[in-house]
């Protein structure tokens, strides 16, 4: 055998496995069907701005070991995710907190805000929510639901809220403090210089073949390696023998604009149903903080890059961005996992291989656990 490991997928999971295996003296080949490394965390420089090609990526974790691990490959800034929601001409801070409530109702104290929310929940009189709409109203009341939850969720799922099951929303966090920080994690940031450098450093000195789809050369590729690490779709690996797992897809529309500052924030959510995109990202604000477009040199960048994110239904030709972890799909996944568990010499990993809505910190933890189990 020429290689100890053939790794399918040069995303975060595949790259960590490759890096650690290579460090342990294993011979590794990494392939990816895309024309670049990094999977969905890939960033590309445009006009001096790191563009998140596959949507906003903010690293956050409370796990110190994970945070320390990624620091080896890049220096992170102190970016704090604080998205803004736009509903018509009204702008609200997210997540739902005192800034949101004071704008929506003029509430001045936590007590006043709480009273309004409790009253709206009581007025709705929902005891057993039958769908997502009823569930959301019973958690946050009518105003927040109608302006900030309804349209966004309907676009996201491609269905009306009354047709969506209630279990999709178990909780809607409401904070009675003036704090727009979206994540509760201890550590949060964006790598200065983008995410691609992290994957580049991990794959340094390792043979990588891009534009190579595993399924086009399956037998030949497998013959070259002792073991396979597969981070593509687990249902595809088994030729969809039990049926297709479902995903949600996205379409990104990116534009470079001749202006310093388009929206004043990295992420603005559009919560009206009538606007077809769910959010606009202005990439420079991930790196430059809230200073309105100043680069590391202190000079103002006269250009900016924005991306509109449109939810899309998934077909086999589209990218499977989000696993749909509902009961039906999880049960189907378990059937594929039972096949995978019996398989000799094949490791399934990452978002698609494990069919899990993994964030980056969870992928790091899962990849390191997988390395410990298989390489030691
Ligand atoms: P990933 O999908 O990145 O990599 C898999 C690779 O395998 C891909 O490069 C693919 O081309 C390749 N591949 C698949 N099938 C193949 C085949 N048959 N042959 C060859 N190659 C094949 N997380 C977070 O922590 N904070 C955030 O803000 C966000 N935001 C976010 C936004 C959006 C829009 C998405 C879709 C996702 C996020 N994430 C996130 C999640 C984050 O993207 C995710 O955790 C990691 O990218 C997952 O890394 P993987 O390596 O598992 O998969």
Give CA–CA dist 332/71, Å, rounded: 37
Architecture of domain 3-45+192-245+324-374: 3-Layer(aba) Sandwich (3.40)
For residue 298, the CA-to-ligand 1 centroid distance in Å is: 33
For residue 177, the CA-to-ligand 1 centroid distance in Å is: 34
Going through the chain in order, the beta strands assigned E by DSSP cover: 3-8, 28-31, 43-46, 49-52, 59-61, 84-87, 90-93, 187-189, 207-209, 225-230, 247-257, 267-270, 279-282, 304-313, 322-323, 346-348
- As a whole-number percent, the residues of the chain with pLDDT over 90 amount to 88
Query: Which residues are near ligand 1 (CB < 6 Å)?
Result: 8-14, 31-34, 39-41, 54-59, 213-215, 231-232, 250, 321, 350-352, 358-361, 363
Q: Which residues are catalytic?
A: 171, 175, 248, 279, 309, 357, 359
| Position 269 pLDDT exceeds 70 | yes
Q: What is the mean pLDDT of residues 173-191?
A: 95
For residue 213, the CA-to-ligand 1 centroid distance in Å is: 16
Q: What is the pLDDT of residues 211-242, one digit of tens each?
A: 999 999 999 999 999 999 999 999 999 999 99
- For 210-265, what is the HEC assignment? CCCCHHHCHHHHHHCEEEEEECCCHHHHCCCCCCCCCEEEEEEEEEEECCCCCCCC
Which residue has its alpha carbon closest to ligand 1 atom 41? 359
Which sequence spans correspond to the domains of the chain? Answer: 3-45+192-245+324-374, 95-168
Instruction: Say which residue the tokens 């009189």 belong to.
Output: 125
Give CA–CA dist 306/308, Å, rounded: 7
Q: What is the mean pLDDT of residues 180-189?
A: 96
Q: What is the pLDDT of residues 326-363, one digit of tens each?
A: 889 999 999 999 999 999 999 999 999 999 989 999 99
- Copy the structure tokens of residue 119: 């009253």
pTM over 0.80: yes
| Position 289 pLDDT exceeds 90 | no
From 296, 288, 301, select the one nearest 259 (Cα to Cα): 301
Q: Which atom of ligand 1 is nearest to the CA of 214?
A: 19
Average pLDDT score, the chain = 94
Q: What is the pLDDT of residues 76-102, one digit of tens each?
A: 999 999 999 999 999 999 999 999 999
Which residue has its alpha carbon closest to ligand 1 atom 14? 232
pLDDT on residue 266: 96
Q: What is the pLDDT of residues 118-168, one digit of tens each?
A: 999 999 999 999 999 999 999 999 999 999 999 999 999 888 999 988 888
Q: What is the mean pLDDT of residues 189-212?
A: 97
């Amino acid at each position: 055998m020429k290689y100890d490991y053939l790794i399918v997928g040069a995303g975060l999971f595949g790259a960590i496995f490759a890096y650690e295996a290579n460090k342990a003296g294993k011979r590794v080949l990494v392939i990816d069907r895309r024309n670049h490394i990094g999977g969905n965390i890939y960033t590309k420089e445009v006009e001096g701005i790191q563009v998140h090609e596959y949507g906003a990526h903010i690293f956050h974790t409370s796990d110190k070991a994970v945070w320390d691990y990624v620091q080896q490959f890049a220096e992170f800034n102190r970016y704090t995710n604080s998205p803004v929601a736009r509903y018509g001409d009204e702008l609200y801070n997210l997540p739902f907190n005192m800034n949101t409530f004071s704008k929506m109702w003029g509430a001045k104290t936590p007590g006043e805000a709480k009273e309004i929310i409790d009253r709206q929940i009581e007025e709705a009189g929902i005891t057993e929510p039958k769908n997502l709409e009823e569930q959301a109203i019973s958690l946050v009341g009518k105003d927040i639901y109608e302006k900030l939850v309804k349209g966004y969720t309907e676009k996201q799922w491609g269905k009306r809220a009354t047709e969506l099951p209630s279990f999709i929303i178990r909780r809607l966090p409401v904070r009675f403090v003036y704090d727009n920080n979206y994540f509760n994690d201890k550590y949060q940031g964006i790598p200065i210089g983008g995410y691609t450098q992290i994957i580049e450093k991990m794959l340094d000195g390792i043979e990588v073949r891009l534009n190579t789809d595993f399924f086009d050369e399956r037998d030949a590729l497998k013959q070259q390696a002792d073991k396979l690490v597969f981070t593509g779709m687990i249902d595809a690996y088994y030729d969809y023998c039990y049926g297709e797992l479902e995903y949600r897809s996205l379409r990104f529309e990116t534009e470079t604009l001749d202006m310093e500052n388009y929206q004043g924030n990295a992420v603005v959510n559009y919560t009206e149903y009538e606007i077809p995109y769910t959010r606009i990202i202005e990439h420079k604000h991930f790196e430059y903080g809230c200073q309105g477009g100043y680069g590391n040199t202190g000079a103002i960048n006269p250009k900016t890059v924005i991306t509109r994110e449109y939810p899309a239904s998934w077909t086999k030709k589209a990218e499977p961005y989000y696993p749909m972890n509902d009961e039906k799909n999880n049960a189907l996944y378990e059937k594929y996992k039972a096949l995978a568990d019996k398989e000799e010499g094949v490791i399934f990993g990452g978002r698609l291989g494990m069919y899990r809505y993994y964030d980056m910190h969870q992928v790091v933890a899962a990849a390191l656990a997988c390395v410990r189990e298989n390489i030691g």
